[in-house]
Amino acid sequence: RNSHKMKYLIHREYGPFSVPKTALKTKTVDEMIVDHKKKKEWEKYLNPKGLKPTITSNFYKIGNEQDFVSHNFMLMRSFKPYKSNIACFRVNPYLTKPEIKQYLMKIYGLNVKKVHTTNVQGKIMRDPMKNTRYRKNDFKKAI
């Protein structure tokens, strides 16, 4: 809550609580407490068993698998000497790590443990015929 819009009070019977500053202009503390009790009774009337919705899981849910995919996966020659079980791919910049992993496992049947990605900006190239510069497409590098 915004502390500039709230007023913090202490009542002798009910202890500390916060109320909106606009409510203090029209009501006393006792009137606000009565309104709060009426609100609680109304909520109990609407939901007599006191059922509350519960969140069953906060874990990431994998999306639906799609049968038809048209992504460009290009095996890149890397300048670093990687181990024999590591490969480097040039992929679409809009793909996520779980999608890349799922694609490699389903289409190529590879056993993928982890996917590392980096976004690479396209190089600026010079066109000697027109004497202009242009940028190549950006891509994502998946290792």
**pLDDT of res. 61:** 66
Domains of the chain, each with CATH number or no CATH: 6-46 (no CATH), 74-142 (3.30.70.330)
91 contacts 108 by C-beta, under 8 angstroms: no
Question: One digit per residue, pLDDT tens: the chain, 143 residues?
Answer: 567 777 777 778 878 877 777 766 667 777 877 888 888 888 888 887 777 777 776 766 666 666 656 778 888 887 788 888 888 899 989 888 988 898 888 888 889 999 999 999 989 998 888 888 889 888 999 98
What is residue 78's three-state secondary structure? coil
CA–CA separation, 96 and 102 (whole Å): 10
Distances (CA, A) of 104 to 51, 108, 117, 125, 133: 45, 5, 14, 32, 36
For the chain, the farthest-separated pair of C-alpha atoms sits apart, in whole angstroms, at: 86
